Structure 1
Amino acid sequence: MVINSEYMRQLLLERERFDNPPDYTVKTTGVGIARFVIRCNNNVNEVLNLAKRVLVIVNYNSEPTWPSFEQWLKILPDEFINNCAPELSKSESEEKIDYRRTLPWEKQVSLEKNKKWSLGNWLAWLEPDTREWFWWNDYKFDGEIENTHFLVEVTALDDPFSSGALKWLFKACGAIDVISTDDL
């Protein structure tokens, strides 16, 4: 798999931002910043720290070659992996899709919103030729919501971009919900 230069640039900038978050005067990379509010069950620090740990591992292992699925199982935290859905065979996946198509639309939407991602599906969206977002910064709130909510900013390569993998990252790390500030 060939890694394009923009992806590589974003990967290196993301590494820097993990250790040295940018302040508000730093010009964004990509096409801009997208913000997400993450709601937790009184465990903001645990969710945020695990999510960053997972992303750091993905970042530092994304090049020069993408690891095999078996390698990812060895290097990603068990707390994250154990919250992912089991991997399905092609026939099992097709059966699940066929079943969902028989359900009323509202039920399909509800199932889709609450479904767990398998590790393989999540990793597919983080591969170099697929990934559309990179960590920018995080902010913890004060007051009543300080241990139940935090804000994450990502820089996106496209607008709009697919945010499902980002949302699943936080849910698999223990978040209750992840909402784009565009949806508020």
Structure 2
Amino acid sequence: MTGELRRLRSGLGAENDDQPRPFLVRCRFTAEDPAQVIANARAVLTCVVAQMAEWPADELWPQLLPNWFIQRCSPETPEPEHGEPFDIEAWLRQWRAMTPEERAAVDQGPWTLSDWLYYFDPTEEGMGDDRSWWWWRAGTDESGGWVQVATTGWPFGSASLSWLIEASGGTDLVYGP
């Protein structure tokens, strides 16, 4: 069992003292029930991390992950017809024509399940071998909840973590050491 999977299932335990301490970043969030947000995020991420050794086919994920998470993800966009390549130039023109507010709205919307899973997929199609954060620990305090992750440094690719927390019920996310 990986250290991350152990921390997800049991919390932070006796880590190997020979290991260098990772760079840790904390994401604070608000919620009506911060403990439930953490439990939700743990349930989803535990399922994903447990599958890393034998990554399932895309069509199996809706049966593996909690139904509430699947429902909060955006519907998948249909694949382009065979023979119709993705027009990156047209997409880039459209993106550059957007205002900063429009770009932010696109970035903040619900993710599709496949887009989110891409960041964990250890096969050649995904970024699983190049993830930028790993669950460390989580908790609640008087201001809400927090999730602490080990990262590759600051800044780091936090968008997949943000979506996990938002889909789990967290709002008003703020990152810091």
User: Secondary structure of 2:111's match?
Assistant: coil
Deviations 1:43-96 (CA, angstroms, capped at 9, x unpaired): 212211110001111111111x211111111100011111011111355x9788
Letter in 1 for 2:135: W
**1:161 shift after superposition:** 2.0
Deviations 1:129-148 (CA, angstroms, capped at 9, x unpaired): 23221110112103xx3xxx
Matched, 1:163 2:153: no
Aligned to 2:125: none
Give distance in 1, aligned partners of 2:175 and 2:52: 26
8 Å contact kept, 2:11–2:137: no
Shift in alpha-carbon separation, 1:97–1:67, aligned structure 2, 3 A: farther
**1:159 shift after superposition:** 4.3
**1:103 shift after superposition:** 3.0
Find the partner of 2:115 among 110, 115, 121: 121
**1:158 shift after superposition:** 4.7
Aligned to 2:175: 180
Cα RMSD for the two superposed structures: 2.9
Q: Which runs of 5+ in 2 are unaligned?
A: 81-85, 122-127
Letter in 2 for 1:117: W
8 Å contact kept, 2:38–2:139: no
Aligned to 1:4: none
Find the partner of 1:50 among 40, 47, 50: 40
Give distance in 2, aligned partners of 1:81 and 1:121: 12
Q: Which runs of 5+ in 1 are unaligned?
A: 1-10
User: Secondary structure of 1:86's match?
Assistant: coil
**1:22 shift after superposition:** 4.1
8 Å contact kept, 2:30–2:173: yes
Give distance in 2, aligned partners of 1:129 and 1:30: 20
TM-score normalized by the length of structure 2: 0.78
Shift in alpha-carbon separation, 1:76–1:106, aligned structure 2, 3 A: same
Aligned to 1:81: 70
Letter in 2 for 1:166: L
Using the aligned pairs only, state the percent identity. 25
